[in-house]
Amino acid sequence: MIKLQRSAKPGFLDHAKVIELTDKFIQTQDSVWNHQEIKRNLLSSSYEKCAYCECLLTEESKYMEVEHFRDKKHNPLLVVIWNNLLPACKRCNGKKGTHDVDVEPIVNPYDDDPSDHLYSKNYRLKPKTTEGSNTIDSLSLNDRERLVMARFDIGEKVQELVGTASERLESFINQPSMIRRNKLVDIVENLLKESQRRSEYAACTASVLIGDNEFQNIISEMKRLRLWDSSLDALYNEADSIKL
C-alpha cells in the first residue's frame, strides 16, 4: 500500500446529483456509484491499481470496484460522497465487506501514510499500529495465494537483478568502458523503475530494493565513480518514499 492523492471530483457529481443518487440508493439499493467518470477519476489517482493491495486493475480478472471506505450498510448517506470512495479490486472490496471503520479504524491511503502503520518483512505486511493490524486483517493483505506469492516473485526477480548489477559494477571497475558503464546504469535504472508508484506491488518491491545492502553498496560505488546522476536520484527518492 502506498500513499495516494485524491483526484478531482467528477464534474457531474454536484450537490444536486449527490442527493439524487443517494435517494435512489436508499430506495432501490442500486449501485448508483457505478459511473464511468467516477471510475476513471478513481483509477487515475491510484495509478490504475487497487488502493489497498496494489494489484493492477487493468487485468480482466481483477476488474475495478468502487469501494466505500465507510461502508454503505452503516453509512447510506455517503454512497457517492467523493472522499468516501476508493478504487479497489474485487478481492479487497469483498474482504472488507461491511467492516465498520468507525469501530475498528483501518488505514485510508488517501488520508494516511501507510508507512506510519505498516512495515514489510519477508513479503508480508506487519503492523506498527492498531490501525495497521486492523487493515491487514480486514483486507487479508497477507493472502498467501494472491498477494504473498506475487510479491515474492517480484522480490526474487529484484534480488536476482541486483546480483547481475553487482557483476556489471565489478566488470566496469576491472575494465572501464562506455559499454560497461551503460550496462550498469541501465540495470540500476530499470530496478528503480520497478519500484515507482505506478508499478504493481510497488511498496513491497521498493522495500526489498531499498533495504538490500548489496544494492546500497552498488549506489555508493556508483556515486564514488561519478556514475550517479540527478535522474537516478529522482527515481531513488520516489522508491525510498513509498517503501514500508
Q: Under the rule (CB under 5 A), what is the footprint of Zn ion?
A: 50, 52-53, 89, 92
* Cell numbers at 105, concatenated: 479504524
Rounded to a whole number of angstroms, the minimum distance from the CB of residue 180 to Zn ion is 41
Rounded to a whole number of angstroms, the minimum distance from the CB of residue 52 to Zn ion is 5
Rounded to a whole number of angstroms, the minimum distance from the CB of residue 28 to Zn ion is 28
24 vs 146: CA distance, rounded Å: 36
75 vs 35: CA distance, rounded Å: 20
Nearer to Zn ion, 106 or 188 (CB): 106
Nearer to Zn ion, 32 or 53 (CB): 53
CB 171 within 8 A of CB 187: no
Nearer to Zn ion, 92 or 184 (CB): 92
Which candidate, 92, 121, 91, places its Cα nearest to that of 106?
Answer: 92
Element (H, E) at 126: strand 124-127
Nearer to Zn ion, 52 or 201 (CB): 52
Nearer to Zn ion, 118 or 185 (CB): 118
CB 102 within 8 A of CB 121: no
Rounded to a whole number of angstroms, the minimum distance from the CB of residue 50 to Zn ion is 3
Q: How far is CA 109 from CA 45, 129, 132, 135, 166, in A?
A: 11, 15, 11, 11, 35
Bridge partners, 190 (sequence order)? none
Nearer to Zn ion, 132 or 184 (CB): 132
Nearer to Zn ion, 63 or 182 (CB): 63
42 vs 57: CA distance, rounded Å: 11
- Which ranges constitute the DSSP H helices of 110-212? 130-139, 149-174, 178-193, 202-210
164 vs 186: CA distance, rounded Å: 11
